[in-house]
Amino acid sequence: MPNNLKFYIDGAWVEPATPKTLGVINPATEEEFATISLGSAADVDRAVTAARRAFATYSETPVADRLAILERIIKGFRARLPELARTMTLEMGAPITFATERQATVALFHFEEAARVLANYAFEHRDGAGIIRHEPIGVCGLITPWNWPLNQVASKVAPALATGCTVVLKPSEIAPLSSMILAEIIHEAGVPRGVFNLVNGDGPTVGEAIAAHPDIDMVSFTGSTAAGIRVAKLAADTVKRVAQELGGKSANIILPDADLQRSVIAGVHACYTNGGQNCQSPTRMLIHVSQRDAAIEAARAAVETIRLGDPLDPATTMGPLVSKAQFDKVQDLIQSGIDEGAMLVTGGTGRPAEVNRGYYVRPTVFADVKPEMRIAREEIFGPVLSIMNYETEEEAIEIANDTPFGLAGFVQSKDAERARRVANRIRAGRVYLNGAPFDRRLPFGGYKQSGNGREFGVFGFEEYLEVKAILGYPA
């Protein structure tokens, strides 16, 4: 990419205010394969100034014009989808098949969904003697993570552009290259100058400058709960809107009447999606005590079907974790499970025997996990499953809710009404029944320390709108 060392500000690729670089590491080889610049508060200022100026006119553009922009972005995205997928494989280790079918494809879906919502959305309507208007909130600072580097960018950029907002984006500095390709697509789509801006950088510098900036009206953040707390505190001084999608520790309640073998195997693979680097992964599998042994054997069999290896090989089903820091964190948590007395069913510490480089982790399953253990309480963000036992349905629900997080939940039962009753009592923003697929039309977000606000579909669209009441206008 010719613009690796530049930022996209005010419709052009520009040099950073102060030269400072960072290598991008391929986690499968542990080798640097690209270099980016790290921005500063001065770069954020320049981007915000451009976005503020552009908002005055872009916020007034007709719906038809914004739809046309989205359609051009969608067309450009489709044309470069294989390149985007390969780039994500190189920058964060997602196997190429997964990167193509999920990482890149679902990011495209957000632009398609934003266009669908925009085409039918009533920005103004009568309510009694008044008028209710929905207006773009303004300049939006978007801070995104490395685990779904383009999906999380698209889930914010697409509705922001659709509603008439302008954007300053900081993608993760660990996996920034796919976002830079998206910036090229947006530029080629003819998005007006200043509407979309991208500044690379780290959280303490560029992220904090965005969160605290007085001319940013909204900050949308996806990442760890600790970082989300920092963003919210910085944003509080200017009373800007804050939308957050943070950590998770989702429970998968397999009720005794479910198809145990099928549910456990599906649960293992769901836990290991994206190498376990997935905020809503069902990392706590709750099994009735009478089915403990059968569940352990089913989980062991599921792990044996996983193929680790070169993420550029289409047959690979699990690649490396994103970085050495993440590898070390997961190793520490696996060791804590052993030290605290959980039963190691399969996996464990160290690299898999078949690899000698790369941040690969052995797919790991623990059984007899107790609620107080670290592996049952902390978000691991790696391929580690904790099997926990319960005696009654009530106890299962209590265990599921015994967490500071509340992003997602999972329930398996042959009785749909029973599954629904249990789902109603799980304190989480989204609950999947019996292997239901991920639906990006439906709202996504968390209870408790998993964040606030919602993404996807109409709910995600409305995060970028203010509500105005007009009184006294004759009917």
What residues act catalytically? Answer: 245, 279
429 exposure class (CB count in 10 Å sphere: 0-12, 13-18, 19+): buried
Residue 246 and residue 279: Cα distance in Å, rounded?
Answer: 7
The answer for 313, left when phi > 0, alpha when psi is -120 to 50, beta otherwise, is beta
H or E segment to which residue 42 belongs: helix 41-58
Residue-wise burial string across 144-171, b where 16 or more C-beta atoms lie within 10 A, e elsewhere: bbbbbbbbbbbbbbbbbbbbbbbbbbbb
Contact between residue 268 and residue 364 where contact means Cβ atoms under 8 Å apart: no
Residue 207 and residue 220: Cα distance in Å, rounded?
Answer: 11
Greatest extent of the chain over all pairs of C-alpha atoms, in Å: 76
Contact between residue 470 and residue 133 where contact means Cβ atoms under 8 Å apart: yes
Contact between residue 72 and residue 49 where contact means Cβ atoms under 8 Å apart: no
Contact between residue 211 and residue 234 where contact means Cβ atoms under 8 Å apart: yes
215 exposure class (CB count in 10 Å sphere: 0-12, 13-18, 19+): middle
Residue 431 and residue 413: Cα distance in Å, rounded?
Answer: 13
Residue 111 and residue 106: Cα distance in Å, rounded?
Answer: 9
Q: CB 450: neighbour CB atoms within 10 A?
A: 29
